[in-house]
Every structure is written in structure tokens, then in C-alpha cells.
Amino acid sequence: MGSGKDPSIREPYLLQYGLTVERQVAMRVTASAAYRGNRGVKMYRSVDANAPIPPNYNVRPNPAIGVLRQIQSSGRQAGNAIDFTLQGEVRRNLTLLAQYTLSGTRNNTGGIAWFPANQYDPSGEWSRADFDQRHRFNMLGTWSPGRRVNMGVGLSLNSGAPYTMTTGTDVYHTGMSNARPAGVARNSLQGPGYAGLDLRLARDFTSIQPRRTKAPSRRSELMRSTY
């Protein structure tokens, strides 16, 4: 397998921007809403520049070379997210941090080592990013019912990440088994969600040191033996 770079390749870059609004809703409690956005430009991806020619995909342009990996910077990405956060001492001795995120990120590349299913038609690759999770909820709470007792809870609820349906066969005769059924886009299926719960209980203990008695001095012992 040979490899090379596209003559028009450029360094990729990511634009990030956001806006946050925060408000105090109680004496020690604040709520906020934050928007986050990102745009990926000239992102890396790879293609087989010597892939078998359509429509039958049986013959390579140069059979003597085989796979010719070409690194391109023609990928792109667009993401948007909004975070809702509540934090502070909601009740006496009860501290809470809760955040819900609604987000969505789409791109047409999985990184520099990623190949599209059809080397001559990457239009079906624009879909959900591999790491895209629509819903995420996280909560951390601490309760101190007494001076030496501390209880904590951590809760995480996330929707599943996407994955791709493939045929399991080398439809395009490229040596890669990433072909998809006709009309099926990349990352069109939904994986399972995740739920996690952590509980913690702590108590402080104090150790009592034995009280030392003062040993009699040698001077006092000599004085008692004299009389």
C-alpha cells in the first residue's frame, strides 16, 4: 500500500464560540444557561486514490500499486450544544451541582486514518459524529447531617452514541469492509445509553491520646531518701 498527501492539503482548524447567561435564584444558588458552538474546517481524512473504478468497482486505475492512501483536508464539522446548570447550597447542609446538556455534532470524517465507504462518493458520510451524544445529565450532591458525617451522591445519565450499519462485505473491492447498504448514511443507528450511580459515606473519628503522668524528678527522690 502506498501513501501520499493531496497537493491542496491545508492545516485543519476548529472555531469555538459561546454565550453564557447566569442568574442568582436563591441566597446561595445560581442557575445558568450556556450555548456552545464549534466549526471544524479543512479536517483530515483519507481516501484510496487508486480505488477500483465504478460502476462495477472491479479494476484499479493502476493495478501495480494497489491501495494508494491519500491524506486530504476536505473534511468539515459543525456542532451546537446548550448547557443548563444549577449549583449551590439548595438547603441547609445540602450542596448540589446539576447539569443537563443537549447537543448535536455532525461531520464527514472520523479522523486522519478514516476512509469513506465509497471512495468516489463521500456524500453519504455527512452524519452524526462518532462522539455525538444528544442528552447528558450529571449531578453531584453532598449532604452533611452532622459535624462528622458526610454523604455524597453522583449520578450520570447519557444517551447512546451512534454507530454505522455495514454490509460486512467488500462491495467496492477496496480491501476494506466498511461498505453500507444502499441509502444508509454513516452513524445512522443509535447505541445504548448509560446510567451510573455512585454513593459515598464518610465519618470522621477522633483518637483519644492517653494522659501522661509526670514522673518524679531525681532531686525529689534524693530528698525523700535523706529524711
Nearest to 75, CA basis, from 23, 40, 37, 24: 40
**How far apart (Å, rounded) are the C-alpha atoms in residues 131 and 29?**
32
pLDDT of 221 reads: 40
Longest dimension (CA), the chain: 123
pLDDT of 213 reads: 59
Along the 227 residues of the chain, how does pLDDT read in single tens digits? 677 788 888 999 999 999 999 999 988 999 999 999 999 999 999 999 999 999 999 999 999 988 999 999 999 999 999 999 999 998 888 999 999 999 999 999 999 999 999 999 988 899 999 999 999 999 999 998 877 788 999 999 999 999 999 998 999 999 998 999 988 999 999 999 999 999 998 887 777 666 665 555 544 443 343 33
Residues 6+ apart with CB under 8 A from 104: 79, 80, 81, 128, 132, 134
**How far apart (Å, rounded) are the C-alpha atoms in residues 154 and 197?**
6
**How far apart (Å, rounded) are the C-alpha atoms in residues 186 and 166?**
9
Residues 48 and 77 sit within 8 Å (Cβ to Cβ): no
CA–CA distance from 127 to each of 37, 75, 76, 117 (Å)?
Answer: 17, 12, 11, 13
Other beta carbons within 10 angstroms of residue 122's beta carbon come to 19
Other beta carbons within 10 angstroms of residue 54's beta carbon come to 12
Residues facing residue 53 across a β-bridge: none
Residues facing residue 156 across a β-bridge: 138, 196
75 burial level (CB within 10 Å; 0-12, 13-18, 19+): buried
Tell me the whole-structure pTM to 2 decimals: 0.79
Give me the domains of the chain, ranges plus CATH numbers.
Answer: 2-204 (2.40.170.20)
pLDDT of 224 reads: 41
Residues 148 and 203 sit within 8 Å (Cβ to Cβ): yes
